[in-house]
Amino acid sequence: DADVTQTPRNRITKTGKRIMLECSQTKGHDRMYWYRQDPGLGLRLIYYSFDVKDINKGEISDGYSVSRQAQAKFSLSLESAIPNQTALYFCATSGREGVQETQYFGPGTRLLVL
């Protein structure tokens, strides 16, 4: 079973709709992240959470909100979707593996906003 899962994997929605992307992890990590990736570009950090009570804005948080329901769950919401939020969204966790802080990514959610 995958360590980091995302649902849905693909979603088409319309401008103005509210949409939630969900992420679950079985790594037991405290830290979780949401990124977006646009075609041909790198990943940009939207929000991150160091534990259930800690939520922080990333590089591009406008238009997004998050909820850390439990250590294992971190959801990303688009309150009112707009076409330029069409992208590939990745959830990730991070933990120290020995001496290394390593990030583990989910399979991604491909979102299309019409």
Partner 1 sequence: LAKTTQPISMDSYEGQEVNITCSHNNIATNDYITWYQQFPSQGPRFIIQGYKTKVTNEVASLFIPADRKSSTLSLPRVSLSDTAVYYCLVGENNAGNMLTFGGGTRLMVKP
Residues that bind partner 1 (CB under 8 A): 4, 31, 33, 35, 40-45, 48, 50, 56, 58-59, 88, 90, 92, 94, 96, 99-108, 110
Nearer to partner 1, 85 or 93 (CB): 93
Contact present, 88 and 109 (Cβ < 8 Å): yes
Buried b vs exposed e over 39-73: b needs ≥16 C-beta within 10 Å?
A: eeeebebbbbbeeeeebeebeebeebebebeebbe
User: Is the bond preceding residue 8 a cis peptide, omega within 30 degrees?
Assistant: yes
Helix (H), strand (E), coil (C) string for 94-111: EEEECCEEEEEECCCEEE
Rounded to a whole number of angstroms, the minimum distance from the CB of residue 69 to partner 1 is 19
- The CB-of-17 to partner 1 minimum distance in angstroms stands at 24
For partner 1, give the closer residue by CB, 5 or 67: 5
Q: How far is the CB of 96 from partner 1 (least distance, A)?
A: 7
Nearer to partner 1 by Cβ, of 34 and 81: the residue is 34
